[in-house]
């Protein structure tokens, strides 16, 4: 620390204008402990994301409540609820933390905040996985599991349980910590929670694997398999294995599934990849990664959080592309009429939800 007569004037809280040690020495507050440009960016973007995600996901819930019941709609409901956890629990806490710079709310709220900071993100990712698995069995293996209703409910319930289990370590490693030099300055952090830096890196990589890598791999596998299966069925026209009306239906399903596949993968991949690239850099070479502007670091996590705001847009578009519940009654009835031209199509229509 550099001893100086200059005193930083804190914008929001004047009582933080002087930081003195027990020897009555005045120090300049380090940049990351001041209300800086990174905090301003976090305040503005989190507030905007909370508004967009809150309104968007509430709108999705209202539309789904008015739509016909299906497994897909049920899972979309759980996805919207998970995103609302992010919008109304994680984001307000981040806004308060950015506004105050220090943590002023006690140890127990710190641990609760840490739990919900990851819970909503885990749940959002795992529900995407549930939707992918359900679509995979519905289209690729429609006869492999008889009780599709119980399967849909079971995997969604499992997603909630696993999200809670994966978030529980946050309650242990996060705590309210007072700065060793600046008396009264507290943070909600993991300082001294791990025996070594290797343990800390291992825990961070575990979170990355569960929240990002595993969902991404499953999503790519499921929707890639769906596209291959629909392409195989459509291509059977040349060998005369399927009748024309069935081929027409599979063609429409192929187009919708392809668009949904690309959108899901791109939205998830684009939102989270930059943040985890930065995280990997920090884990592998902390000395150079710490030189990155604090605004860039905050912006990457903020951008990752936009996935919860994008999800209602992604699935809103999906529901409007085919025989979805958000279409007009005329379009919906037209789709049903076409699907019922062949008895074999009834089962496929039910599974496509």
Q: Calculate the average pLDDT of the chain.
A: 75
pLDDT reported for residue 162: 95
User: Is 348 contained in some domain?
Assistant: no
Please say whether the beta carbons of 154 and 172 come within 8 A: no
Please say whether the beta carbons of 281 and 257 come within 8 A: no
The pLDDT tens digits of the residues spanning 201-260 come to: 889 889 999 999 999 899 889 888 888 887 787 777 656 555 554 445 555 655 666 676
The pLDDT tens digits of the residues spanning 134-160 come to: 888 877 877 665 566 666 778 889 999
User: Is 312 contained in some domain?
Assistant: yes
The pLDDT tens digits of the residues spanning 73-83 come to: 788 889 889 88
What is the number of structural domains in the chain?
1
User: Is 68 contained in some domain?
Assistant: yes
Flag whether pLDDT at 321 surpasses 80: no
pLDDT reported for residue 241: 53
CA end-to-end span of the chain: 62
pLDDT reported for residue 14: 34
User: Is 75 contained in some domain?
Assistant: yes
The Cα 263–Cα 300 span in angstroms is 20
**DSSP structure string for 309-334:** HHHHHHHHHHHHHTT-TTS-HHHHHH
User: Is 179 contained in some domain?
Assistant: yes
Mean pLDDT for the stretch of residues 275-291: 85
Flag whether pLDDT at 174 surpasses 70: yes
User: Is 292 contained in some domain?
Assistant: yes
User: Is 6 contained in some domain?
Assistant: no
Residue that the structure tokens 């800390």 belong to: 200
Residue 106: which domain range? Answer: 18-236+246-322
User: Is 33 contained in some domain?
Assistant: yes
CA angle 186, 189, 193 (to 5 degrees): 120
CA angle 142, 144, 146 (to 5 degrees): 85
Residue that the structure tokens 């739509």 belong to: 67
Flag whether pLDDT at 44 surpasses 70: yes
Q: What is the CATH number of the domain that holds 151?
A: 1.20.1070.10
Tell me the two tokens of residue 4: 């100086």
Flag whether pLDDT at 270 surpasses 80: yes
Q: Which of 139, 132, 140, 310 is nearest to 219 (CA)?
A: 132
pLDDT reported for residue 160: 94
């Amino acid at each position: 620390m550099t001893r100086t007569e200059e005193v930083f004037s804190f914008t929001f809280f004047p009582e933080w204008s002087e930081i003195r040690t027990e020897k009555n020495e005045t120090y300049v507050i380090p940049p990351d402990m001041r209300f800086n440009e990174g905090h301003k960016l976090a305040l503005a973007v989190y507030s905007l994301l909370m508004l967009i995600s809150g309104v968007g996901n509430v709108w999705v819930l209202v539309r789904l409540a008015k739509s016909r019941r299906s497994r897909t709609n049920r899972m979309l409901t759980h996805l919207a609820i998970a995103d609302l956890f992010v919008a109304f629990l994680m984001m307000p806490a981040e806004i308060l933390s950015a506004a105050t710079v220090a943590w002023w709310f006690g140890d127990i709220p710190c641990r609760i905040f840490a739990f919900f900071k990851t819970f909503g993100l885990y749940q959002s990712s795992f529900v995407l996985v549930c939707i992918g698995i359900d679509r995979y069995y519905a289209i690729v293996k429609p006869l492999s599991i008889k009780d599709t209703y119980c399967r849909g409910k079971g995997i969604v319930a499992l997603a909630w349980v696993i999200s809670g289990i994966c978030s529980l370590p946050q309650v242990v490693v996060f705590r309210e910590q007072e700065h060793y030099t600046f008396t009264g300055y507290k943070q909600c952090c993991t300082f001294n929670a791990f025996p070594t830096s290797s343990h800390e890196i291992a825990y961070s990589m575990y979170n990355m694997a569960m929240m990002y890598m595993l969902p991404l791999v499953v999503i790519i596998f499921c929707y890639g398999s769906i596209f291959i299966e629909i392409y195989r069925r459509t291509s059977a026209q040349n060998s005369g294995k399927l009748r024309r009306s069935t081929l027409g239906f599979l063609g429409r399903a192929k187009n919708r599934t392809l668009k949904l596949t690309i959108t899901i993968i791109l939205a998830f991949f684009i939102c989270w990849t930059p943040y985890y690239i930065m995280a990997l850099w920090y884990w592998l070479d902390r000395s150079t990664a710490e030189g990155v502007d604090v605004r860039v670091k905050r912006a990457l996590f903020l951008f990752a959080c936009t996935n919860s705001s994008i999800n209602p847009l992604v699935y809103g578009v999906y529901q409007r592309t085919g025989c979805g519940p958000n279409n007009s009654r005329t379009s919906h009835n037209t789709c049903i009429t076409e699907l019922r031209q062949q008895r074999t199509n009834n089962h496929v229509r039910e599974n496509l939800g």
